Amino acid sequence: MAEPLLRVEKLVRRFGGILATDNVSLDVARGELHAIIGPNGAGKTTLISQLTGQLLPDAGTIELAGTDITYVPAYRRSALGLARSFQITCLLLDFTALDNVALAAQAHDGHSFRFWGNARNESNLRRIARAALDRVGLAARADTVVSRLSHGEQRELELAVALATSPQVLLLDEPMAGLGITESARMVKLLQELRREVTIVLVEHDMDAVFALADRISVLVYGRIIASGAPSAIRNNDEVKRAYLGEQHAVTRHV
Amino acid sequence: MKDKLNARNVTVALVLAGLLLLPLYTSISGNIFALTLFTRIVIFALAASSLNLIMGYGGMMSFGHAAYLGIGGYAVGILASEGIGSGFIQWPVALLASALFALVIGALSLRTRGVYFIMITLAFAQMAYYVASGLSRYGGDDGLTIYKRSTFDGLINLSNRVPFYYLCLACLLGGIYLIWRIVNSRFGLVVQGLRSNEQRMQAIGFPATRYRLVCFVISGTLCGLAGALLANNTDFVSPASMYWTRSGDLMVMVILGGMGSLFGPVIGAIVYLMLEEFLSQVTEYWALIMGPLLLLIVLFGRGGIVGVLGRSSRG
Amino acid sequence: MLLVVEQFLNGLQFGLLLFLLAAGLTLVFGIMDFVNLAHGSLYMMGAYFAATFVAWTGNFVLGVILALGATLLLGIVLEFVALRHFYGRDHLDHVLATFGLILFFNDAVRLIWGPAGLALPLPGWLTVPIQIMPGIFYPSYRLAIIVVSLAVAAFLYVLVMRTRIGMLIRAGASNREMIGALGINIKLLYTLVFGLGAALAGLAGLMQAPILTVQIGMGENILILAFVVIVIGGIGSIRGAFLAAILVGLIDTLGRAFLPDLLRQMLSSAAASTAAPALSSMLIYLLMAMVLVVRPEGLFPANRR
């Protein structure tokens, strides 16, 4: 069994009296698409934030390709190959789509303490940026200011920005959030293509997408992983059914 | 080419032309006062531009920028009083001292954000004011007279009004050119990105504080240059140049002119200082008018003068 | 020994005064998210009103009460006419707008009362020194300040922690929309909170008036100190402001009193007399710098979870 690309071991995070992450352990193998599902308030975003470094855990370890990154600051994790998309769109709203992606490429192209040359003329960065935009289907909207993009386009842009950093692992926090039927289908198709190139950890509510895409699924309830395995096993797991369909309902349809 | 001929660009071009040709008008009309007024305006425009770099482009609202006017000024004043009159020594010291102060204060202040950053930069600038007031050897509260302006080995005579004015103008234009190149460079994009969305920038791999600090130091150094010029202009330096209301003046110039635009601070400095000059000739209590005026400007003037011009040209 | 006790009490008194100012600032910032630089102007107005009313009525206590009322009224009028339009805006807008107010107030005071300062003489019964320890006397007025300030601090504690209004204040600080949705008159609440802040500032000003001269610009100097207190004490915390204010008051007063002598023992007399005033004024800022390095969120930040 090959060494997992991302290994989380007994992660713990408290907020005052609340145990948001309760001894979470999971493995993500290289090339896998691992989905994390769970009812609202289960602690999915808290978990992702600890993986990317926006939050630091109280206990436990996170390893990326064998390196302990538990307390490595957020900005350095990107250099190590971890890229993230945000649940609530987090982009540079007053810049163009191209600028957003080019900046991500710039972050991974040496240092940025260059004060003289016009960065927008750096053909290398622009080329990488356009390629990433093309990948997600936003090539035509490259020069549009982000605040003018539709919600679906912004979600796609989030993906492009993450891709431009040439990541080893892509952490996607509800990329389908707020998307309509057509846009969701596009996103699923895009993820199907991407999974062949990069390892993906996907947090999602959209069950159709999850079962269509995932190699393995982990279920997070009240900060604990209650089940982890192949989609078919998860679908038939009693505890999962109770947690999801008993007290809280999962999103299986778009409105 | 046609879309370049909008209200905004035309105004800027006219202002620049006016500034360049001012000494011509002065020598013809004999209105020396206009020259001294505009020398002061140009120096403050430089200071405001330096503040614009961190405020308009970097999103760092510093309420302590006047400290650098004082530091630059005192570098010149103290060295002059100790017998070192050469500008070749005084001015680099002024720049270095400003850079160091900015480095230390920035490193401390940038650990905070928002209104706390404003308060802390204000507090540290006041600290500089109090320290200067306590320097009894160099005049303390009363200030320090500079008997001889900085000398440059005969290259330029600062005691001569017109060359001095052009030197100040050159520094202003040079400063703006420097800022222009910086904001469009890799560094500048990072700083602007940090203003736009810090979390996103950290996520793609930029350490925020490092870049902000460097920007802060550049800004402080540029303002230190303005301080050295100011000391030469008034032949005098006192703690009052660092008093926090000075910092407020600078902020107003930047906001009034239009944050995050290259020439906004220049227009802001011109309008603010001319308004101050005009009002103080009308009444001794000009702040009674300026105060509420400021409130109205903040309430209704989005994007400053440049912003208004930009909107009118889009229509 | 005598000197140490006296300076200690002076530091305590100064610290409590700073607390009154900082508490007003924190309340307004915490509930309305409004940065009020003109807080210092209200401090100044409290002092000017006190000097004026005491002179008019010839009665110290009556004059002081009228001054407090006048400052409260001024604060409410200010909020109603000008400042409420700025709620919800960028903090920078607040800073600039209230900066304009400071300029306005300074000139208004100069117009009405003239550029020279005013004096506020104390009545006889407040100049009697009181024996607080065997052989140690302390001015009764300064003791009165300490007592009044502590009483106000206790009142604030009870108000914010134990009353319905206090509950609204605390709730409003966490979630403004909710308060509005509950049918509470937000506008009235904000006006009252601002008035309270103004009254605190005015009280600090009028209490300080007999000790220092009443003059233009007195508000700005002490406002900066109030900011330092808030930064050291911690974000949004009145308890933090209290502890930090005492700390700052003590360090500043004791430092100014004893640092010159301390320096003279370590350095040459000439060096000491040059360095001493500058260093003394820097002490609190050095403290603030240390706090920023070690705990940027402040020493006693309010828990917001």
Q: Chain B interface, mutation test: which of A116, A123, A158, A168, most B Cβ atoms within 10 Å?
A: A116
* Nearest-CA distance A43 → chain B (Å): 20
Chain A residues lying within 8 Å of B182, measured CB to CB: 115-116
Number of domains in chain C: 1
Provide the ipTM: 0.86
Chain C residues lying within 8 Å of A15, measured CB to CB: 305
Q: Which of C97, C103, C293 sits opposite B290 (nearest CB)?
A: C103
Chain A residues lying within 8 Å of B175, measured CB to CB: none
Delineate the domains of chain A, giving CATH numbers in brackets.
1-81+167-183+195-255 (3.40.50.300), 89-166 (no CATH)
CA nearest to C11, candidates C257, C205, C239: C257
CA nearest to C84, candidates C186, C226, C178, C177: C186
| Cβ(C213)–Cβ(C273) below 8 Å | no
| Cβ(A167)–Cβ(A82) below 8 Å | yes
Residue type (1 letter), B11: T
| Cβ(B192)–Cβ(B49) below 8 Å | no
Rounded mean pLDDT, B217-242: 95
Higher pLDDT, B54 or C171: B54
Q: Which residue of B has its CA nearest to C235?
A: B116
CA–CA separation, C167 and C163 (whole Å): 6
pLDDT tens across C81-94, in order? 988 888 878 888 88
Chain A residues lying within 8 Å of C303, measured CB to CB: 16
C21 part of contact set with chain B, CB < 8 Å:
no
CA nearest to C69, candidates C88, C86, C46, C48: C46
A71 part of contact set with chain C, CB < 8 Å:
no
Q: Chain A interface, mutation test: which of B200, B204, B213, most A Cβ atoms within 10 Å?
A: B204
Cβ contact, residue pair A92, B208, below 8 Å: no
**Which two three-digit tokens encode residue C297?**
């969120």
Cβ contact, residue pair B286, C296, below 8 Å: no
pLDDT tens across C30-67, in order? 778 888 989 999 999 999 999 999 988 888 889 999 99
pLDDT tens across A49-102, in order? 899 898 899 999 999 988 999 999 988 999 899 999 988 889 999 999 999 999
pLDDT tens across B88-135, in order? 999 999 999 999 999 999 999 998 888 889 888 988 998 899 888 888
Cβ contact, residue pair C288, B120, below 8 Å: yes
Question: Quick one: pLDDT at residue C5?
Answer: 84
CA-derived radius of gyration, chain B: 19
Say which residue the tokens 């706390």 belong to: B116
Chain C residues lying within 8 Å of A16, measured CB to CB: 303, 305
A15 part of contact set with chain C, CB < 8 Å:
yes
User: Following DSSP, what letter does each residue of B215-231 receive, concatenated?
Assistant: HHHHHHHHHHHHHHHHH
Q: Which of C100, C224, C230 sits opposite B294 (nearest CB)?
A: C100
CA dihedral B40, B46, B47, B52 (to 10 degrees): 140
Chain C residues lying within 8 Å of B141, measured CB to CB: none
Torsion-angle region of residue C145: left (phi > 0), alpha (psi -120 to 50) or beta?
A: alpha
Give percent of chain B above pLDDT 90: 56
Strands A216-221 and A224-229: antiparallel
* Nearest-CA distance C103 → chain B (Å): 5
Chain B residues lying within 8 Å of A117, measured CB to CB: 185-186
Q: Is the pLDDT assigned to residue B303 strictly greater than 80?
A: no
Chain C residues lying within 8 Å of B135, measured CB to CB: 274, 278
Q: Which residue of A has its CA nearest to C303?
A: A16
pLDDT tens across B105-115, in order? 999 999 888 88
Q: Is the pLDDT assigned to residue B297 strictly greater than 50?
A: yes
* Phi, psi angles (nearest 5°) of residue A226: -95, -15
Is the pTM for the entire model greater than 0.95?
A: no
Cβ contact, residue pair C104, B109, below 8 Å: no
Q: Which of A79, A116, A118 sits opposite B205 (nearest CB)?
A: A79
pLDDT tens across B30-66, in order? 888 899 999 999 999 999 999 999 999 999 999 999 9
| Cβ(C274)–Cβ(B137) below 8 Å | yes
| Domain assignment of residue C199, given as a range | 9-123+145-294
CA dihedral A168, A172, A173, A177 (to 10 degrees): 170
CA–CA separation, C205 and C218 (whole Å): 9
Chain B residues lying within 8 Å of A84, measured CB to CB: 203
A134-138, A223-227, B170-174, C190-194 — most confident range: B170-174
Three-class SS of residue A61?
Answer: strand
A17 part of contact set with chain C, CB < 8 Å:
no
pLDDT tens across C260-293, in order? 788 877 777 766 766 777 777 788 888 888 888 8
Chain C residues lying within 8 Å of B299, measured CB to CB: 85-86, 97
Q: What is the CATH number of the domain that holds C281?
A: 1.10.3470
* Nearest-CA distance C12 → chain B (Å): 22
Q: Chain B interface, mutation test: which of A84, A111, A113, A115, most B Cβ atoms within 10 Å?
A: A115
Residue C161's pLDDT band, with cuts at 50, 70 and 90, is confident
The answer to the question of residue C34 being in a domain is yes
Residue type (1 letter), C35: V
* Nearest-CA distance A17 → chain C (Å): 10
Q: Which residue of A has its CA nearest to B213?
A: A113
Higher pLDDT, C134 or A59: A59
Q: Which residue of A has its CA nearest to C304?
A: A16
Cβ contact, residue pair C103, B119, below 8 Å: no
Chain A residues lying within 8 Å of C305, measured CB to CB: 15-16
Please report the residues numbered 28 through 57 in chain C whose beta carbons come closer than 8 angstroms to any beta carbon of chain B: 29, 35
